[in-house]
Copies of this chain bind each other. A is one copy, B any other.
Amino acid sequence: MSKERLYLYDTTLRDGQQTQGVQFSTSDKLRITAELDALGVDYIEGGWPGANPTDSAFFDQVDHTKARMTAFGMTKRAGRSAENDDVLAAVLNAGTPCVCLVGKSHDFHVREALGISLDENVENIRASIAHCIAQGREALFDAEHFFDGYKANPDYALECLRAAQDAGARWIVLCDTNGGTLPSEVHQIVTEVIAAGIPGDHLGIHTHNDTETAVACSLAAVDAGVRQIQGTLNGLGERCGNANLLSIIPTLVLKEPYRSQLETGISDEALEGVTRISRMLDEILNRVPQKQLAYVGSSAFAHKAGLHASAILKNPSTYEHIEPALVGNRRVIPMSNQAGQSNLRKRLSEAGIQIEAGDPALARILEVVKNREAEGYSYDTAQASFELLAREEIGQLPHFFEVKRYRVTVERRKNKHNKMVSLSEAVVVLKVDGEKKLSVSESMDETGSDRGPVNALSKALAKDLGQYQELIEDMRLVDFKVRITQGGTEAVTRVIIDSEDGQGRRWSTVGVSANIVDASFEALLDAVRWKLVRDTA
């Protein structure tokens, strides 16, 4: 039996940008486009040409893609021809092979939001789609509020779809714009639409997550016969977001009945990229990745319950619905539970530290980790600090130098131009090879801007390490993250520092204190010590 083709339509760059706090730059959009194209989606909706400078610049700059590049716009306004509608013209001028036009299909909205007659709206849909076809484009009609419209007035909602169909639209997309429709209703209504004569292989589904069922609504529509799914990466989108393509894609590719019956443009190899793509998007948006995301979250295959974790070690399929590597993700067994010791040995061996099974040091290390984590440390991310802690416990941590004291001063006052400016100064006193070293640095960067006390401290610490100095010359701080791990006035700060060196190594260290400068210093110190351990080994 040959498989039916199911098409994937990504609208991260258009509807995804409606997320509160999200504003892509043109270069962000180009980078996301390249990732989507490599993933294998069929359509990329790039934005609304003419609506803002970023979207217009994007369509000017984007290279040819395998995916069909699509410009979004709206059906022409009443009282003018499609040819004379400047908004529609701007959309067509982007020169994309596909054009997706949103229009009304709910009688209430035609009257309330547009204030035109029901017939005028139908004519606007027909004429706009016909105009796109006449220009040689593939046309999609986004039927806004379709499900609410169908429930209120099914005849009119269907009339709007037929106007687009008759005018030659390749796809008619059923939109649950307000996100309130449940999967069972979507299945029922799509079944009725197909029975009314719009074939499923010309129907798309566009859902929102306002009842936390956008993914299920998309699948319900496919079950009923729809053959195009619209969604966004990580479920970005207005309000509660759009349907999350990174949850839908693995299900379509890996699970029955979809795997046997339907074919998408996503190869098994491309599927292994979804976890990375999810993190890449968070990185662009400077968001903390959500750990619990289906398939791609860092906790998606994390087993905490003791019984689960020990069963997993026997046979992963006991508590995993798929193999994590299929989506480029990995299994996590926290060290703090019963299955911890064998997992700990594995992690230490990855760091080049061999400990025999049953060595009492294993229990000691687990105990220290547990106590530190209760104080606010987190070793899931700070692998380098974890390694130092383990080496300390087993007596394999050389004491390269000793910190005798440090002092940081932050001062804010008027400069000679009568402008308030800040400057930080740090003094670090170390003992290296029996010799006392005093180093002082300030927080100014090359441009003369103040980078704050942690910057000054970092420079002073790395200024004179005696015989070790040359080993740390190629090291630099690349990221700094801070989190308050206890709220209220007893706030405790956790600092995570990422460092990099000339050999392309990158490592993370952690510090915790009620004093944010102390927490930072602790993480900086670990960063230097890890580098020395590696380079003197």
Query: Which residues on A are within 8 Å of B, measured CB to CB?
Result: 18-21, 109, 112-113, 177-180, 182-184, 209-213, 215-217, 219-220, 223, 235, 238-241, 244, 247, 250-251, 255, 283, 286, 288, 290-295, 297, 299-305, 308, 311, 314-315, 318-322, 332, 334, 378, 380, 403-414, 420, 422, 424, 443, 449-454, 476-489, 491, 493, 513-518, 521
Of the candidates B235, B241, B491, B513, the one whose C-beta lies within 8 Å of that of A480 is B491
Q: Do A478 and B482 have beta carbons less than 8 Å apart? A: no
Number of copies: 2
Q: A297-B240, A334-B20, A405-B413 are in contact. Are A112 and B314 (CB under 8 A)?
A: yes
**A6 nearest CB across to chain B (Å):** 15
Of the candidates B219, B308, B315, B477, the one whose C-beta lies within 8 Å of that of A238 is B308
Once bound together, how far apart are the Cα atoms of A188 and B517, in whole Å?
Answer: 58
Q: Do A491 and B514 have beta carbons less than 8 Å apart? A: no
Q: In the complex, what residues of B have CB within 8 A of residue A406's CB?
A: 411-413
Q: Do B255 and A180 have beta carbons less than 8 Å apart? A: yes
Q: In the complex, what residues of B have CB within 8 A of residue A235's CB?
A: 292
Q: In the complex, what residues of B have CB within 8 A of residue A177's CB?
A: 319
Once bound together, how far apart are the Cα atoms of A210 and B294, in whole Å?
Answer: 5
**A172 nearest CB across to chain B (Å):** 21
**A14 nearest CB across to chain B (Å):** 10
Once bound together, how far apart are the Cα atoms of A184 and B219, in whole Å?
Answer: 9
Of the candidates B184, B291, B378, B451, the one whose C-beta lies within 8 Å of that of A223 is B184
Q: In the complex, what residues of B have CB within 8 A of residue A182's CB?
A: 216, 219, 251, 255
**A322 nearest CB across to chain B (Å):** 7
Q: Do B216 and A183 have beta carbons less than 8 Å apart? A: yes
Q: In the complex, what residues of B have CB within 8 A of residue A210's CB?
A: 294-295, 300, 321
Q: In the complex, what residues of B have CB within 8 A of residue A449's CB?
A: 514
Q: Do A299 and B211 have beta carbons less than 8 Å apart? A: no
Once bound together, how far apart are the Cα atoms of A479 and B491, in whole Å?
Answer: 8
Q: In the complex, what residues of B have CB within 8 A of residue A19's CB?
A: 292, 299, 304
Q: In the complex, what residues of B have CB within 8 A of residue A303's CB?
A: 238-239
Q: Do B220 and A215 have beta carbons less than 8 Å apart? A: no
Of the candidates B21, B322, B424, B491, the one whose C-beta lies within 8 Å of that of A180 is B322
Q: Do B479 and A488 have beta carbons less than 8 Å apart? A: yes
Q: Do B318 and A516 have beta carbons less than 8 Å apart? A: no
Nearest B residue to A405 by beta-carbon distance? B413
Give me 5 A-to-B residue pairs in the complex whose CB atoms sit less than 8 angstroms apart, sorted by A's number.
A179-B321, A182-B216, A235-B292, A239-B292, A454-B516
